Chains A and B, each alone.
Chain A
Amino acid sequence: MDVLLDNLDLYGPFFWTTIKLFLISGVASLIFGTFLAGLRVSPVPVFRAIGATYVTLLRNTPLTLVFVFLVFAYPLLEILELSYFTAAAVALTIYTSAFICEVVRSGINTVPVGQAEAARALGLTFSQILGQIVLPQAIRSVVPPLMSTLIGMLKNTTIAAGFSVTEAGAIRQYLSERGDNQLIGLLWVALGFIILVAILSFAQRALERRWSVAR
């Protein structure tokens, strides 16, 4: 308990940074991942190819490499200066989006083809079919894997500690230098993550109950 109370100045702000990083990259990857899924089921072959290439590339690259690229290589291009926090959010977003994309696409596959055909028969355009008919049903059926991906991303935020973002993953190194017991310190970090994951699991159950599709 002492380790936690003596270092509240670490745990508070650092976990808050973790939460901010999670919320920003979580929302951004849900949006971008869904957009990518749209590309992958689009009737235009070029779009499908772009989507498939992106997913293959990012899903096969370790997240640390994505971070290294954004923090050490990207600044040399001198396009637009990113703060380290922004760079971390971008790295997490472009990486997680690839996984979200595949989850959403598997959701799209659960929607019977007849739905899209009926919508087309009514004269809806592709984006209308996707946005109003297919995606609402698709996302409802993939709430659990979607949450799993987000929980994975929550834990991935700790990688940012190595790239100048002081979040929960950096607490151990701070404790080490302060001379506090790291093992106990890490137990408190673990507890913090358990609480955050519990909130996400609760949200998952609530959404499942509200959105369950009767088939």
Chain B
Amino acid sequence: MKIRTLAAGLLVGALTLTACGKEGTPSGSGTGDTGSNAAALPTYTVAQNVDVAGSPTFARVKGAGKLTIGVKDDQPGLGLKDPTTGKFQGFDIEIAKMVAAGLGFDESKINFTTVDSAAREAAISNGNVDYYVGTYTITDKRKQQVSFAGPYFMAGQDLLVRKDDTSITGPETLKGKKVCSVTGSTPIQRVRDQQLTEPGNIVEFQKYSQCVDKLLTKEVDAVTTDDAILKGFAAQDPDNLKVVGKTFSQEPYGIGLNHDDAALRGKIDDLLQAAIDNGTWQKIYDATLGKSGSPAQPPAIQRY
């Protein structure tokens, strides 16, 4: 028995190491084939003869005829790479496609690139990506290095726990519990700063999927990060996991782009506003994160 659990553990470890930790396709981010009642993804009309005056980024991508968008590949429902088809899917991906269509690029001209959290600023300012859509919280400090269009979604820090665990109902019940999140992430820094649990009970791994593994094996009691990310994991394994549903922060997700490109920022703000006004935003939400069952309101665009 021990040997079998060990073998299973080694397999999980090996999968985690090769970043293939997420088996199968989450029910919350299918491509609309989960049944007749599942909301279908909207299609986007590709704009013709677009010009963004004074935008160096746009001038560059227009010359290249190809758009490189930075995304995440390990967040179910938001930005997830299907290991079998290599296609990206989720809410963030759809927002990225919608913006691309508004800039005159159809899906075949988009090159999605995975950029992990710690490398975002560098990827944007070096021009490795033209813009970045991946659970990127707008903060004043980050605005000194990059600029943000949006927000296109309002998330909030929440807790993912085992389904049968009734002892954790919110941040104030975390004392004495083991809490896991990604190394150095804002949620885990908040847990540490506000002393929601003891320092010895804070666990940090490279990926949320590793935290979820530890949650299922009862080595940690809660995984904390933005509710949007947690809902994706809960939708993958609804029999064993649940989101507590009491957010305790505001995380406005923005589209990150070059610090000096105010023209493109204004253009993307316009596109987001239009999508919110004509209902495209709601359709995107309903077909992706909305499948978790919880509704969401479009946020107010903050121009600066």
Query: Which residues of A are interface residues toward B (Cβ below 8 A)?
Result: 64-65, 68-69, 71-78, 83-84, 161-164, 166, 170-183
Question: Judging by beta carbons under 8 Å apart, are B189 and A73 in contact?
Answer: no
- Nearest 10 Cβ contacts at the A-B interface: A179-B141, A173-B184, A73-B9, A174-B184, A72-B13, A68-B13, A176-B118, A76-B9, A179-B142, A76-B5
Please indicate the chain A residues that have their CB under 8 angstroms from the CB of B121 in the complex.
Answer: 176, 181-182
For the complex, count residues of B whose C-beta is within 8 A of A: 38
Question: Judging by beta carbons under 8 Å apart, are A161 and B145 in contact?
Answer: no
Interface presence of B248 (CB below 8 A): no
**Binary interface encoding of chain B residues 210-225 relative to chain A, with 1 for a CB under 8 A from any of its CBs, else 0:** 1001000101000000
A183 with B122: in contact, given A73-B9, A76-B217 (CB under 8 Å)? yes
CA distance A68 to B219 in the complex (A): 15
- Checking B13, B122, B204 against A164 with a beta-carbon cut-off of 8 angstroms, the contacting residue is B204
**Binary interface encoding of chain B residues 224-242 relative to chain A, with 1 for a CB under 8 A from any of its CBs, else 0:** 0000000000000000000
Please indicate the chain A residues that have their CB under 8 angstroms from the CB of B141 in the complex.
Answer: 178-180
Please indicate the chain B residues that have their CB under 8 angstroms from the CB of A84 in the complex.
Answer: 203
Question: Judging by beta carbons under 8 Å apart, are B13 and A69 in contact?
Answer: yes
Query: Which residues of B are interface residues toward A (Cβ below 8 A)?
Result: 2, 5-6, 8-10, 12-14, 16-17, 117-122, 139-142, 144-145, 182-186, 189, 200, 203-206, 210, 213, 217, 219
CA distance A176 to B210 in the complex (A): 20
- Checking B10, B17, B117 against A173 with a beta-carbon cut-off of 8 angstroms, the contacting residue is B117
Question: Judging by beta carbons under 8 Å apart, are A77 and B2 in contact?
Answer: yes
Please indicate the chain B residues that have their CB under 8 angstroms from the CB of A76 in the complex.
Answer: 2, 5-6, 8-9, 217
**Smallest CB–CB gap between B136 and chain A, Å?**
11
Please indicate the chain A residues that have their CB under 8 angstroms from the CB of B219 in the complex.
Answer: 75
7 new A-B contacts, CB < 8 A, other than A76-B8, A172-B184, A178-B189, are A68-B17, A71-B13, A73-B12, A77-B5, A174-B183, A176-B118, A176-B184
- Checking B5, B17, B119, B140 against A65 with a beta-carbon cut-off of 8 angstroms, the contacting residue is B17
Q: Would you call the interface of chain A mostly helix, strand, loop, or mixed?
A: helix
Please indicate the chain B residues that have their CB under 8 angstroms from the CB of A83 in the complex.
Answer: 200
Question: Judging by beta carbons under 8 Å apart, are B184 and A72 in contact?
Answer: no
Please indicate the chain A residues that have their CB under 8 angstroms from the CB of B204 in the complex.
Answer: 164, 166, 170
Please indicate the chain A residues that have their CB under 8 angstroms from the CB of B140 in the complex.
Answer: 179
Q: Can you report 23 residue pairs joining A to B where beta carbons are below 8 Å apart?
A: A68-B13, A69-B10, A71-B13, A73-B9, A75-B217, A76-B8, A77-B2, A164-B183, A164-B205, A171-B184, A173-B118, A173-B184, A176-B118, A176-B119, A176-B120, A176-B184, A177-B186, A179-B139, A179-B141, A179-B142, A181-B121, A182-B122, A183-B122
Please indicate the chain B residues that have their CB under 8 angstroms from the CB of A69 in the complex.
Answer: 10, 13
**Smallest CB–CB gap between B239 and chain A, Å?**
21
Please indicate the chain B residues that have their CB under 8 angstroms from the CB of A176 in the complex.
Answer: 117-121, 184
Please indicate the chain A residues that have their CB under 8 angstroms from the CB of B145 in the complex.
Answer: 179, 181
Question: Judging by beta carbons under 8 Å apart, are B10 and A73 in contact?
Answer: yes
Please indicate the chain A residues that have their CB under 8 angstroms from the CB of B205 in the complex.
Answer: 162-164
Please indicate the chain A residues that have their CB under 8 angstroms from the CB of B139 in the complex.
Answer: 179
Question: Judging by beta carbons under 8 Å apart, are B189 and A177 in contact?
Answer: yes
Please indicate the chain A residues that have their CB under 8 angstroms from the CB of B120 in the complex.
Answer: 176
A72 with B203: in contact, given A77-B2, A176-B117, A183-B122 (CB under 8 Å)? no
Of A76, A174, A181, most B-chain CB atoms within 10 Å: A76
